[in-house]
Amino acid sequence: MNAPRIPYLPANLAEPAALVSAIRARRGGALLELDRMLLHSPALASGWNAFLGEVRSGLALDPKLRELAMCVVAVLNGAEYEFVHHAPVYLAAGGTQAQLDAMRDPERASGNTALFDATERAALALTVEMTRSIRVEDGTFAAVRDQLGEQQTVELVGVIAAYNMVSRFLVALGVTPG
């Protein structure tokens, strides 16, 4: 196991009490390694908890598509911690193990008509383009918008953008699965 670049705060951290309580409540009681890194900056941890809490549970976007995007961002950016935490959520949201395995090669998965429907393939292509080159081709964007409509397209773009932020934070600080 690689050590993080900055030591994690203790798992039994109690202060700042309101913030630690809010994070624990969102996480089901425990502080993850990510939280224990974020809490080095209470202001960052507070905003992160509120923002990512909404991204995780406040959107109209299908949870399976949300988690698909999160897992693919993790693969593309080498953020295994992110993948390990989101893969079970993807499966719980209706994804299959075969789909999850295929996502380890996102470019190929985006053309896989046997495992992914048109909406999933469009989401895969969007995730790859946003993560790899930032700019999205008109055809890719149109395919997503045709499948999802405006609100859910905006939400999917937001999920991909947010989890690129998450993966970059994890990788830069050396947060790995523990």
* pLDDT tens digits for range 137-146: 999 999 999 9
**pLDDT computed for residue 1 by the predictor:** 53
| Domain assignment of residue 10, yes or no | no
Answer yes or no: do 30 and 70 share one domain: no
| Domain assignment of residue 153, yes or no | yes
Answer yes or no: do 111 and 165 share one domain: yes
How far apart (Å, rounded) are the C-alpha atoms in residues 143 and 65?
Answer: 14
DSSP state for residue 46 in the 8-state scheme: H
How far apart (Å, rounded) are the C-alpha atoms in residues 149 and 19?
Answer: 36
* pLDDT tens digits for range 78-112: 999 999 999 999 999 999 999 999 999 999 999 99
Domain hosting residue 132, numbered range: 63-173
Q: What is the number of domains present in the chain?
A: 2
Answer yes or no: do 36 and 82 share one domain: no
**pLDDT computed for residue 178 by the predictor:** 74
CATH number at residue 93: 1.20.1290.10
End position of a domain, from candidates 7, 37, 57: 57
Per-residue pLDDT, averaged over 44-53, amounts to 96
Residue 6 above 80 pLDDT? yes
